[in-house]
Structure 1
Amino acid sequence: MRCQPRYKKQVYIWLKNKQFCLLCDEGADGTTPICMACETDLPWLGDHCQCCALPLPVAGLTCGQCLSQPPAFERVIAPWTYSFPIDSLITRFKHNAKWPFGHLLGELLTQALQHRFEDDLPQPDLLLPVPLATRRLRQRGFNQAAMLARWLSTALHIPCDERSLLRTQDTGAQQTLNAEARKKNLRNAFALTPEASFKGRHLALVDDVLTTGATAQALARLLTDAGAARVDIYCLARTPKPGEST
């Protein structure tokens, strides 16, 4: 139709079988819009802490922090390290509303979780996205963690609860704070709705990036204090320790 805008490049449609790679524009090998070469080159998380997924030089170890101060959560599942191009894709999804990049990462996270479920990872009863402060939600217009949780819920057939976790304080951005400052920043930042019931349940918190783990720890402690039997963390990427590269 002549009234339609003229756009010479291929428009990607998630329902079409033929996809083009969102990273290089080459034809994708399957229904996920990423080619094999680009997928292989992603910064996949290698050897890491069995608990918090911190990158480590040797497999099968638990980091010193988790040994000395065991976290309230059981395990972190993250496919990648927070480095190029994953950091750029997450930033464009999170801060520029480039949802196709988020959907792509959500699909790949789904595949990673499916493999882990088939291996040794217990499947949770419920997915809980990390809540966003009201002011930031108004500014951004969406909660990236909630979008990821919805996509995972649909693909993995696990219920998603976006109402029971509340962010009661706007703690501001965490990116510029060190680990201790992040902990202080998050004191009393979260709460549960009065009708929330998690006793004896296996829960999985969903977020985009795990840095110091302060947010994950605060929420996992809140949930275990409410009777949750186990809390896992599902996220897209894990950062190394400050000053370390992967």
Structure 2
Amino acid sequence: MPTDARTPWLTRIRSGLGNGWPNHCAACRASTRGPAARVCRDCLERFAPVVPRCGRCALQLPQGVAVCGACLRAPPPWSGAVAACDYRYPWDGLLSALKFRDALDLAAPLAQRLAQALQACPTPPVDVLLPVPLAAARLRERGYNQAALLAAQLARRRAVRVEPGWLLRLADTPRQTALPRDRRVANMRGAFAVEPLALPVLRDRHVALVDDVMTTGATAGEITRVLLAGGAASVQVWVVARTPP
């Protein structure tokens, strides 16, 4: 039998075997089946319900409120933001495992949760996904960019191209976790640029910036400023988790 004829059958067999393989939910450790069930349905329903969020900064809001007061007073530079969940248990631990402990198998279920949030909260179409880049030294140390992994998974689910090389990180800024917003903003100034070769194809494109977590929006704000200055038509921010106030 020609190889081309065997391939679909082999693919289906391998997929079936993989989907039946025993697994454990990364959050509650309950028994699951297959790589797609890395976070179980019970945990998704319990810890990641679809809730109303500000259309500009993705913070939780009361039902019926579209934009928070802070964004009405001082709108962020991006056109809209979507977050799949709050940065709290169990998502903070899962994202930390993906980011710092090589839990690469978590990229798919986390991206799937973001895809579901985007489906529940329709956004204007985008032409390309751009992951937030890591500095070269940090990328060498870690070996991968968690934002790029999430963007690649999301691109397959949304049928949108991803371009990890269009954004450059020029400075390896200090870790932002414990810094107030004004310090974060100051740290980010001049930290990013558009790859010069990408400028012609960026012009008039609608882009979505993909990251794991948004806290104050300092990183997203600086990258948005750079993208708009480079000719992008609009920028949305899509993150797995939003740090609550």
TM-score of the pair, normalised by structure 1? 0.84
1:230 counterpart residue number: 234
**Structure 1 residues 99, 30: closer, same or farther in 2, change over 3 A?**
closer
Deviation string 1:187-228 (CA, Å, 9 cap, x unpaired) is 111111111232211100000001000001111111111221
Deviation string 1:46-74 (CA, Å, 9 cap, x unpaired) is 23212111123444232232122211111
Distance 1:106 1:163 in 2: 20
Supply the AA of the counterpart residue of 1:224.
L
Normalized per residue, which structure has more helix?
2
Structure 1 stretches of 5 or more lacking a match? 1-12, 242-246
- Comparing 230-239 with 103-112, greater Cα deviation is found at 103-112
Is 2:25 the partner of 1:22? Answer: yes
The one of 120, 123, 126 equivalent to 1:121 is 123
Q: Is the 8 A contact 1:80 1:236 kept in 2?
A: yes
Which secondary structure state, in structure 2, belongs to the residue aligned with residue 27 of structure 1? strand
RMSD: 2.2
Which secondary structure state, in structure 1, belongs to the residue aligned with residue 45 of structure 2? helix
Is 2:198 the partner of 1:192? Answer: no
Distance 2:87 2:169 in 1: 25
**Number of paired residues?**
226
**Structure 1 residues 175, 108: closer, same or farther in 2, change over 3 A?**
same
Distance 1:183 1:196 in 2: 25
Structure 2 stretches of 5 or more lacking a match? 1-14
1:81 counterpart residue number: 86
Within a 5 Å distance, the mapping from 1:1-246 to structure 2 comes to 16-18=18-20, 20-23=23-26, 24-27=29-32, 31-44=36-49, 46-116=51-121, 120-197=122-199, 198-241=202-245
Q: Is the 8 A contact 1:205 1:231 kept in 2?
A: yes
State the shift of 1:153 in Å.
1.4
Q: Is the 8 A contact 1:43 1:84 kept in 2?
A: no
Deviation string 1:86-123 (CA, Å, 9 cap, x unpaired) is 0000001101011112222112222332444xxx4222
**Structure 1 residues 91, 234: closer, same or farther in 2, change over 3 A?**
same
Distance 2:54 2:140 in 1: 36
Which secondary structure state, in structure 1, belongs to the residue aligned with residue 185 of structure 2? helix
Distance 2:60 2:101 in 1: 28
Which secondary structure state, in structure 2, belongs to the residue aligned with residue 78 of structure 1? strand
Which secondary structure state, in structure 2, belongs to the residue aligned with residue 137 of structure 1? helix
Distance 2:217 2:17 in 1: 36
TM-score of the pair, normalised by structure 2? 0.84
1:3 counterpart residue number: none
Which secondary structure state, in structure 2, belongs to the residue aligned with residue 207 of structure 1? strand
User: Identity of counterpart residues, as a percentage?
Assistant: 39
State the shift of 1:31 in Å.
4.7
Q: Is the 8 A contact 2:205 2:234 kept in 1?
A: yes
Distance 2:36 2:97 in 1: 22
Q: Is the 8 A contact 2:129 2:151 kept in 1?
A: yes
